[in-house]
A and B are shown apart, each in its own frame.
Chain A
Amino acid sequence: MKILVLNCGSSSIKYKLFEMESKEVVAQGGIEKIGMKGSFLKLTLPDGQKVMLEGEILEHRAGIEYILGVLLSEKYGCIKSLDEIEAVGHRVVHGGERFNKSVLINEEVIQMLNECIELAPLHNPPNLKGIYAIQELMPKTPQVGVFDTAFHQTMPDYAYMYGIPYVLYEKYGIRRYGFHGTSHRYVSKRACDFLGLPFEEQRIITAHIGNGGSVTAIKNGHSIDTSMGMTPVEGLIMGTRCGDLDPGVISYIMEKEHMGTKGISTLLNKFSGVLGISGISSDMREIEAGIREDNKRAILAMKTYNYRIKKYVGSYAAALGGVDILVFTGGVGENQAVTRKEVCQDMAFMGIELDEELNASVRATEVVISKPSSKVKVVIIPTDEELTIARDTVQILKEF
């Protein structure tokens, strides 16, 4: 059984084709720069060979058509007919309060997704474009929506409410929703399986940190708090997003720099965070290179980045009433030893004792990096959002 997983961003589409029986990825790649100059489809063949297909891709529909064309092609493909694809699973960013789990996509769901656009004007429209494209190109194939926000729908109201007039929540749905739910769900569950502990009885903190990032507190299998809010700007300092910020600063910058809402949004989303502080890059590898050259702002960016994660771990330990497992995942969480080290430093008082030597030597693999004496098990679990989406898709197909 083959399942195609699509992740449509504003100017990109990532795809993976899974053979579910063997859990094997039979094809994968991505399109970038949709609607811009220099758009391309990059794919990795099973033997590791990378292929770049260049050309004009003005919109998502064309992008998806090319993806299907490549999958069908003799040269780079792996299927003979689109009918071989049993179902398509979509990553959908914002499900608002309407979706607390993955759903089979039908007209009613599409209508509801349209109603969620206001909450995620940048993210949901491309997700919908992907759904429409598949409807058109593969009309008989069932589609499943897997939401970034769904896992966090178990947050209690006092955790998701902002301290602003309640009427704004009623009017516009302004509250904290959280993102990366698919990843937090996968790694927390996987960590328990890996450690041989019952998921339903653990207090877990998952740190999904990469270019975007969030920390989630999971109690007895349910998300009870997470660092991202109504939009993905809240919480951690990210590659280019500012994270938590005094709201007074926003109006102050707008006034001083004569900025409109769009300008300030760009500033906080694209020019802030690690890039903004360091002035070098949003890529932590370049920051590490800067640190080796003793660049002061690179050092500051790294410290600020790590410190914010540590603060969230501490506060979620309080929210959970203690921690059993701390999970690191995401590009940085899986690969950057120094961040894991700084987050766990001086945390023995709450039972976190990192095996620093082991921590420094491992990356992107499932491994326990705390000392045997550590009360809290600190683990690295590489995330696999696409596999989770594919599994959810199969699950939903079975239900119908």
Chain B
Amino acid sequence: MSEMIIEPINKYGLTISAENRHKPLFSKIGVVGAGKEGRNIINMTSTAGMEVVFLDESLERIEFVMGELEKVMNQKITGWGLTQSEKKVIMNRITPTLEYEDFAGCDLVIECTRYTESGRRSTPLRKNIFKKLEEILDEDAIIATNGSTIIISELASELEHKERCVSLYFPVSHPDARILEIVSGMYTSEEVYQKMEIFARLINYKPHRINESNGNVSLRMVATMLNEACQILLERVTSLEDIEETFTIIYGQRYGIFRLADIIGIERLVTLMEAMFNDFGEKHYKPNPLLWKLYRSNQLGVRTGKGFYVYDENGEPLSPNKSLYN
């Protein structure tokens, strides 16, 4: 028996072949910055079968990132039954790089940079990345940023093809939170938005269309709830534990609001709430003093090991963070 014959399928369509003779969408994508969220995106897209190139700043970082990616997959193997061979196939799809040139040929690059593993973000730096990407990518490649603040129109503004820019937000609250908030900026074209909907479905997310607005929908709702919870705590109306249970038991949420804030990241919420306060001028968006206290002391939640709770190395809460009340 001769070996299997392999050829492209597109000439066998009855009506779809003619207009569809382009390369398949999202066969190769890029990620700039492999912090926690960047790694999450690398993980999901490579698992969904995409070739992923990611860029980070040093060989040490790359080694660390590859180790972390492997760790997540090993956890899946022990807990959920990903097989060793599947892991091998997925890891093979991931290519680390230090050079922007390696993004050539990607039809989507997602920017997720942070100063440090725990850290905050810089708009000039991100603008610079967008420009570098434009130089390397094809005209119709999409440049996205991962974020929840109003930024995409600003990041796009200095590019030649502004319509290709879009902002994405992957909710991080728990693994089943598979809704992708796709944010169209002032320049984003409908075609680009539609392609991102396809991207969302390819990675098994439900797309939600968002018009550029600070906090999108998911975080805007959490922000005010969190502020109110902090105020209740400050006024000593009840304990942290009881506020958490109100959220989990009465409102049926998976986590309490403070735990959720730690998972999302205090720095992200404070920055966002400041931006929302500036935008909307409503006092209830202004970050509560408790949030500032955590933010200034770099107790940013799960990723720094301390926030409203103190965490062990696996990110499991050990106890409420008593230093908050001192």
User: Residues of A at under 8 Å CB distance from B?
Assistant: 33, 35-38, 40-41, 48-58, 62, 65-66, 68-70, 72-73, 137, 240, 258-260, 262-263, 267, 270-271, 275-276, 279-281
Q: From B22-30, B130-138, B211-219, give the one contacting chain A.
A: B22-30
Which one of B7, B12, B198 contacts A66 once the chains associate, using CB atoms below 8 Å?
B12
Per CB-CB distance, the 6 closest pairs between chain A and chain B, nearest first, are A37-B49, A55-B9, A69-B12, A53-B9, A271-B81, A56-B24
Please give the distance in Å from A75's CB to the nearest CB on chain B: 9
Q: How far is the CA of A137 from the CA of B13 in the complex (A)?
A: 12
**Additional 16 contacts, C-beta under 8 A, given A53-B9, A69-B13:** A36-B48, A37-B27, A37-B202, A50-B4, A51-B4, A53-B12, A54-B6, A55-B9, A55-B10, A56-B25, A65-B16, A70-B12, A72-B14, A258-B174, A260-B254, A270-B81
Query: A-facing mask of B193-232, CB < 8 A → 1, else 0?
Result: 0000010011000000000000000000000000000000
Please give the distance in Å from B21's CB to the nearest CB on chain A: 10
A66 touches B9 (CB 8 A): yes
Residues in B with CB closer than 8 Å to A66 are 9, 12-13
Please give the distance in Å from B72's CB to the nearest CB on chain A: 16
B24 touches A52 (CB 8 A): no
Please give the distance in Å from B140's CB to the nearest CB on chain A: 16
**Smallest Cβ-Cβ distance to A137: which chain B residue:** B14
Which one of A51, A72, A137, A258 contacts B5 once the chains associate, using CB atoms below 8 Å?
A51
**Smallest Cβ-Cβ distance to A37: which chain B residue:** B49
Residues in A with CB closer than 8 Å to B10 are 55-56
Please give the distance in Å from B193's CB to the nearest CB on chain A: 17
A49 touches B16 (CB 8 A): no
Q: Known interface pairs A62-B16, A65-B14. Does A41 touch B9 (Cβ–Cβ under 8 Å)?
A: yes
B201 touches A37 (CB 8 A): no
Cβ of B50 within 8 Å of any chain A Cβ, yes or no, is yes
Residues in A with CB closer than 8 Å to B83 are 275, 280-281
Residues in B with CB closer than 8 Å to A41 are 9, 12
B49 touches A57 (CB 8 A): no
Which one of B7, B175, B202 contacts A35 once the chains associate, using CB atoms below 8 Å?
B202
Residues in A with CB closer than 8 Å to B50 are 37
Cβ of B123 within 8 Å of any chain A Cβ, yes or no, is no
Residues in B with CB closer than 8 Å to A240 are 81
Q: How far is the CA of A385 from the CA of B111 in the complex (A)?
A: 50
Q: How far is the CA of A41 from the CA of B25 in the complex (A)?
A: 18
24 contacts between A and B (CB under 8 A): A33-B49, A35-B201, A36-B48, A36-B49, A37-B26, A37-B202, A40-B9, A49-B2, A52-B5, A52-B6, A53-B7, A54-B8, A55-B8, A55-B10, A55-B24, A56-B24, A66-B12, A66-B13, A69-B17, A73-B12, A240-B81, A259-B176, A260-B254, A276-B81
Cβ of B18 within 8 Å of any chain A Cβ, yes or no, is no
B20 touches A267 (CB 8 A): no
Residues in B with CB closer than 8 Å to A69 are 12-14, 17
Which one of A54, A56, A275, A280 contacts B20 once the chains associate, using CB atoms below 8 Å?
A56
A271 touches B80 (CB 8 A): yes
Please give the distance in Å from A84's CB to the nearest CB on chain B: 15
Residues in A with CB closer than 8 Å to B202 are 35-37
B48 touches A37 (CB 8 A): yes
Q: How far is the CA of A287 from the CA of B309 in the complex (A)?
A: 44
